[in-house]
Amino acid sequence: MPHQQMNCISSILFFRKREICSVTSTMALLYPATIMKLLLVLMSTLSLVDAAALSALICSHQPIVALAGDDVILPCHLEPAVSASSETVEWTKPGLDPEHIHIHQDGRLMYQNPSYNDRTILFMDELTKGNVSLKIFSVKTSDAGKYKCFLPFIQKEASIQLIVGESDVIGSHEPVTVVVGDDVILPCHLETPFDVKTLTVEWTYNKTIAHIYRNKKDDLVDQDQKFKGRTSLFPDEMTKGNISLKLTNVTEQDAGIFNCYVPKLHSQVKKGNITLNVEKKPGPVRRSQTDNDSIVGIVVVGIIVTSIVGAVLLKMRHDKGGQNMGNTGDCEENNPETVILNEEDISDTA
Query: Does the predicted model carry a pTM greater than 0.75?
Result: no
Judgement on whether residues 114 and 173 belong to the same structural domain of the protein:
no
Judgement on whether residues 172 and 275 belong to the same structural domain of the protein:
yes
Q: Please check whether residue 133 lies inside any domain of the structure.
A: yes
On the question of a cis peptide bond just before residue 80, with omega within 30 degrees of 0, the verdict is yes
DSSP 24-88: HHHHHHHS-HHHHHHHHHHHHHHHHHHHHHTSEEEE-SSPEEEETT--EEE-EEEES----TTS-
Comparing 175 with 318, which gets the higher pLDDT?
A: 175
pLDDT given for residue 29 in this prediction: 52
CA 54 to chain centre: 44
Q: Provide the angle, in degrees to the nearest 10, between the axes of the packed helices 33-53 and 3-30.
A: 180
Judgement on whether residues 263 and 239 belong to the same structural domain of the protein:
yes
pLDDT in tens, 172-229: 999 999 999 999 999 999 987 878 888 899 999 988 999 999 999 999 999 999 999 9
CATH number at residue 115: 2.60.40.10
CA separation for the pair 336, 341 (Å, rounded): 8
Say which range, 52-66, 82-96, 263-277, 328-342, has the weakest mean pLDDT: 328-342
CA separation for the pair 53, 265 (Å, rounded): 43
Q: Please check whether residue 224 lies inside any domain of the structure.
A: yes
CA separation for the pair 92, 147 (Å, rounded): 6
Using the predicted structure, report yes or no on whether residue 11 has a pLDDT greater than 50. Answer: no
DSSP 208-270: EEEEEEETTEE--TT--GGGTTSEE--HHHHTTTB--EEE-S--GGG-EEEEEE-TT--SS--
Q: What's the domain count of the chain?
A: 3
Q: Please check whether residue 129 lies inside any domain of the structure.
A: yes
Distance (Å) of CA 135 to CA 59, 138, 304 = 13, 10, 97
pLDDT in tens, 16-26: 445 545 544 55
Judgement on whether residues 144 and 201 belong to the same structural domain of the protein:
no
Domain that holds residue 191: 168-279
Q: Please check whether residue 347 lies inside any domain of the structure.
A: no
pLDDT in tens, 283-303: 665 655 666 667 767 777 777
Judgement on whether residues 196 and 130 belong to the same structural domain of the protein:
no
Judgement on whether residues 73 and 28 belong to the same structural domain of the protein:
no
Taking the C-alpha atoms of 184, 189, 193 and 196 in order, what is their torsion angle to the nearest 10 degrees? -90
CA separation for the pair 142, 165 (Å, rounded): 10
